[in-house]
Amino acid sequence: MKTYNRVLSIAGSDSGGGAGIQADIKSISACGCYAATAITAITVQNTLGVSNVHAVPDQVLQEQIESVLSDIGADSIKIGMLHSSNTILAVCSVLDQYKGIKNIVLDPVMVATSGDVLLLDEAVDTLKRFLIPRVRVITPNVPEAEILLGRKIESQSGFIPCAKELANLFQVSVLLKAGHLDDEDLIDVFYDFENQESISMKSKRLNTRNTHGTGCSISSACAAFLARGFDLQMAVQLAKNYINNAIVAGADYRIGEGHGPVNHFYEYWK
């Protein structure tokens, strides 16, 4: 009997379809896995920004996760927007019942591409103390890494020591993304905490506004490749290649009046 490689995404819903659960489903599917979901919050959102956030009750969130894991199961889990301390603790509580799932990728979503705040200030400490130590990989962008470190990151020249510092601080592997800086050559850094190795992944900046959901998509792609059995460094490299190609393929499209999405299905939409 055939089986799917399964990824559970625990994240918020984006009504505009470019980020959140919607981007996760697209990325996981495009990268060859079956996507299941547990929705943490419903955002009222389009390409121009987020106008409202409605949190799903914690018990309902826990029941979603339990329902998926007790029946379908998961080879990896991607975690995105969590919004509040209570939500984070609710997720931790259920994950503790399924400690056999080691491939957990956390995108520490704090601020949307539009600048809208998606994680309450009081929840940052809860994220750092309780959730990050439970995962295998975190994928912060520069503003998120600055919040986690408690200091500014001025340039890409400091990426390797910053990624290593984060990894040692939280005992997890770290993919530090360079997209929020102004350099033409973007160099993401992955610090593999398990092997104490760092790799640098270079790409060219594209002149496009279609970058909504890139963080959700690369973390989901990483979870998908881990679910398929790739080792950690290869899973991150494949995820980086996937998002680069998706950005290039979606660069010239126009959808909405703000930040458009990447082209998740570039391999299939010819």
Report how far residue 185's alpha carbon sits from residue 59's, in angstroms, rounded to the nearest whole number: 45
Q: Which residue in the list 37, 47, 113, 211 is annotated as catalytic?
A: 211
Whether residue 58 contacts residue 90, with contact meaning beta carbons closer than 8 Å, is answered with yes
The dihedral region occupied by 244, where left means phi > 0, alpha psi between -120 and 50, and beta the remainder, is: alpha
216 catalytic? Reply is: yes
211 catalytic? Reply is: yes
Q: Which residue in the list 87, 216, 222, 250 is annotated as catalytic?
A: 216
How many H helices and E strands in the chain? 8, 9
Q: Which residue in the list 31, 177, 240, 250 is annotated as catalytic?
A: 177
Whether residue 163 contacts residue 189, with contact meaning beta carbons closer than 8 Å, is answered with yes
213 catalytic? Reply is: yes
Collapsing DSSP states into helix, strand and coil, what is residue 141?
coil
Q: Which residue in the list 18, 213, 250, 260 is annotated as catalytic?
A: 213
215 catalytic? Reply is: yes
100 catalytic? Reply is: no
Nearest to 163 by CA among 173, 155, 154: 173
214 catalytic? Reply is: yes
Question: In the chain, which residue ranges form alpha helices assigned H by DSSP?
Answer: 20-30, 58-71, 85-95, 121-126, 142-149, 159-170, 214-227, 232-250
Q: Which residue in the list 20, 215, 250, 260 is annotated as catalytic?
A: 215
Report how far residue 214's alpha carbon sits from residue 244's, in angstroms, rounded to the nearest whole number: 9
Q: What is each CA distance from 254 to 175, 250, 265, in whole angstroms?
A: 29, 9, 16
Q: List active site positions.
A: 177, 211, 213-216
